[in-house]
Structure 1
Amino acid sequence: MGVEEEYLLVDAEGVPTGVAEAAVRAHEQGGGEAADEGPPGGGLEKELQEQQVETGTHPCLELDELAVEVRQGRARASAAALQADGRLVAVATSPMSGPTTLSRGARYEAMAQAYALTVREQLTSGCHVHVSVADDDEGVAVLDRIGPWLPVLLALSVNSPYWHGEDTGYSSIRSQMWNRWPTAGPTAPFRTADAYRRAVTGLVASGVALDPAMMYFDARLSPRYPTVEIRVADVCLRADDAVLVAALCRALVETASRQAVDGVPPSHDRVEPLRAATWRAARSGLGGDLLLPPFMTPVPARDAVAQMLDHLRPALVDSGDLATVQDLLARLWQRGTGADEQRAWAREGGLPAVVENAVAATIA
């Protein structure tokens, strides 16, 4: 498994600042990896906007190894940002209002032409977890079975209550803004790898996606690596929560793969309940009800997380991850989600305090 994280770059006042190109250059001049070394991700690379950068771990087998990689990635990205007169902050949307500046590149320019305001306003940061699969057949079998559980992952990761200086009332406004892309969100079962490939080809042929890399599903087959890529989560405020999300993603993939081998069918056949469950998770995070499979009925968030843990327990036991996941979950319940922490800081010192505390938490 591997984790890719997108981060915001802010100036001394906490306002988004367009220094990504300078930060990547500083990283590479300092002996960092090139962006294309070591899948998935590796190194430091720019994103759609100059106010963002992305880093990624190398593939890892153990959670301890992954935790070190996540922290190292955050530390080297933070150091590069400082060299470019910026600061790194792991929030999924900016608490402070500021402009966006499109990163240089023909693909980004084509996206801006095609998607207009959606691109200009798209300053959001996610966490993408890659989990290896044997082939596309196994990958699609996994995608067809993990969808109903992805909103619970979103609820655990929510870290974007603010948009343009305003509390939106959502715990993850990022997910709402992200779903403006025509290919974003949950998917119905594909059933076969051929059907998945036909869906991708059709979306590109329709003109609503420029290429297969613009399949912005909540979970997809990676267009670059032999992995299932789970993309539903906000970037996590704290490294511990990124490791927790990754561990749960790996267990989801393993559990779904075993179900497919055992002939257990997908628990859903329509996308509408998944969209409702995703909205519910974005709205209240862990502070309200979540919709739980197989019937997508509302249950308290704590119960939903407990039931997901029961669902994943055999895979977590077999990987040796259960105790670590239980410990990380306990810490999360104690301190709250990233959205909870941001709102607590705002009550104490306003939005500047949110940014200052989040900068520190990013590399804690």
Structure 2
Amino acid sequence: MRSVGVEEELLLVSADSGEPQAVSGAVLASVGEDEELEKELQEEQLETGTRPRTQMVDLAVEVRRWRGAASQRARAVGAEVAALATSPLAVDPSLSPGERYRRMAQEYGLTAQEQLTCGLHVHVGVESDEEGVAVLDRIRPWLAPLLAMSANSPFWQGEDSGYASYRNRVWGRWPSAGPVEVFGSAGKYRERVRSMIGTGALLDEGMIYFDARLARNYPTVEVRVADVCLDARDTVLLAALVRALVETAARQWRADEPPAPVDVGLLRLAAWRAGRSGLSGELVHPVTFEPAPAESVVGALLDHTAPALSDAGDLALAKEGVEDLFRRGNGAAAQRAVFEETGGDLSAVVAEAVRRTVA
């Protein structure tokens, strides 16, 4: 069974006002060697990471464990952590110290300065780069539904953006971000990466911000399209679905089934619609590329991955998780519900997110 691990980026906020707090340095100063907490681009955020797991119940324990550890460390310096993909309240982010981050700020200007976004990265083990690229080629149409399910960033700088995932729009300002074409082989993937870095528009391979890529430091495919999920249950659900997508794609490759020749322009439109609508409206169907209800699109994802989910023992978890997600709504729906219930109190939105992050 393939291993799976997740990285979650979390927002550091004031315990009183809910405003983002630039305290990652203070939080990380007290972190032990056995704690998987790291800094990110801005001082208002932290990243957690699980170890590779094969059982979803073990992954769920780790996700909650590291959210709890991050919360404890933040509270020690008078802050809280919130699994929010963007800050509902206005913020002027503070760049984390380090030469690489300084270079990013110099090279990318306002794009780097305003880039306070929190995503979910799912790593799934692959046997080789060749298998990994074959997987990347075949999962392309199925990434937008993951974005819709995870959408958790409706507010930006104190305003409703009109999007379920505005993080996706902000993240897309990086020069290499978004969907990509079919590569065909590991050699062509590496050649493309070298060519992109060779333009001078990217600092290094770490700035290959494809929606899904080969991980630099692990033998994994890394799917990066999702917002950080407000509810830890949804993190585990997405991890199960991503692992099943990877396994399904690998089986197709071994059976000599070619990847769908979907144009990158269509993939970008599907991602835009997923970020705009979340689960509250129509999405672009990953097979027909025509409008379809969100329930139909997510149902197609379940059908597509059902054999792999079943073989991993995750089919019931995935079905129940999807039903639960549609019943209570994703993070964007939860945030907007609190906003409406409190008469537009964004501090209350953050407070509820803090509670749900470690619930």
The reply to whether TM is greater than 0.5 is: yes
Matches within 5 A, 1:317-336: 317-336=310-329
Render the CA deviation track for 1:258-312: whole Å, top value 9, x for unaligned.
Answer: 0011111111242000000000000000111111233311110001111110110
Q: Tell me what 2:10 maps to.
A: 7
> In 2, distance between residues paired with 1:302 and 1:268?
25
Alignment partner of 2:358 out of 354, 357, 363: 363
Render the CA deviation track for 1:211-230: whole Å, top value 9, x for unaligned.
Answer: 11110000000011000000
Structure 2 gaps of 5+ residues are none
Alignment partner of 2:21 out of 17, 23, 27: 17
State the secondary structure of the residue aligned to 2:283: strand
The one-letter code matched in structure 1 to 2:23 is V
Render the CA deviation track for 1:187-217: whole Å, top value 9, x for unaligned.
Answer: 0100010110011111111111111111000
Alignment partner of 1:178 out of 147, 160, 171: 171
The one-letter code matched in structure 2 to 1:180 is R
Runs of 4+ more than 6 Å apart: none
Matches within 5 A, 1:145-160: 145-160=138-153
Q: Tell me what 1:126 maps to.
A: 119
The one-letter code matched in structure 2 to 1:293 is P
> In 2, distance between residues paired with 1:123 and 1:363?
21
- Percentage of matched positions with identical amino acids: 53
State the secondary structure of the residue aligned to 1:27: coil
The one-letter code matched in structure 2 to 1:260 is W
The reply on whether 1:97 has 2:90 as its aligned counterpart is yes
- Indicate conservation of the 8 Å contact 2:142/2:301, yes or no: yes
Q: Tell me what 1:37 maps to.
A: none
State the secondary structure of the residue aligned to 2:31: helix
State the secondary structure of the residue aligned to 2:259: coil
Q: Tell me what 2:67 maps to.
A: 74
> In 1, distance between residues paired with 2:315 and 2:75?
37
The one-letter code matched in structure 2 to 1:270 is D
> In 2, distance between residues paired with 1:69 and 1:110?
34
State the secondary structure of the residue aligned to 2:30: helix
Query: In the TM superposition, what is the alpha-carbon distance from 1:27 to its structure 2 partner?
Result: 2.1
Return the TM-score normalized by structure 1.
0.96
Q: Tell me what 1:353 maps to.
A: 348
The one-letter code matched in structure 1 to 2:224 is R
The one-letter code matched in structure 1 to 2:6 is V
The one-letter code matched in structure 1 to 2:277 is S
Alignment partner of 1:241 out of 234, 242, 247: 234
> In 2, distance between residues paired with 1:189 and 1:84?
47
Alignment length (residue pairs):
353
> In 2, distance between residues paired with 1:331 and 1:150?
20
Cα RMSD of the aligned pairs, angstroms, is 0.8
> In 2, distance between residues paired with 1:269 and 1:44?
38
> In 1, distance between residues paired with 2:318 and 2:104?
39
Q: Tell me what 2:34 maps to.
A: 33
> In 2, distance between residues paired with 1:258 and 1:133?
12
- Indicate conservation of the 8 Å contact 1:127/1:231, yes or no: yes
The one-letter code matched in structure 1 to 2:353 is A
Structure 1 gaps of 5+ residues are 35-42
Render the CA deviation track for 1:78-113: whole Å, top value 9, x for unaligned.
Answer: 111111221100000000012211000011001111
Render the CA deviation track for 1:224-250: whole Å, top value 9, x for unaligned.
Answer: 100000000000001000000100000
Render the CA deviation track for 1:327-352: whole Å, top value 9, x for unaligned.
Answer: 11121111101000000000112211
> In 1, distance between residues paired with 2:44 and 2:286?
38
- Indicate conservation of the 8 Å contact 2:284/2:292, yes or no: yes
> In 2, distance between residues paired with 1:83 and 1:217?
36
The one-letter code matched in structure 2 to 1:171 is A
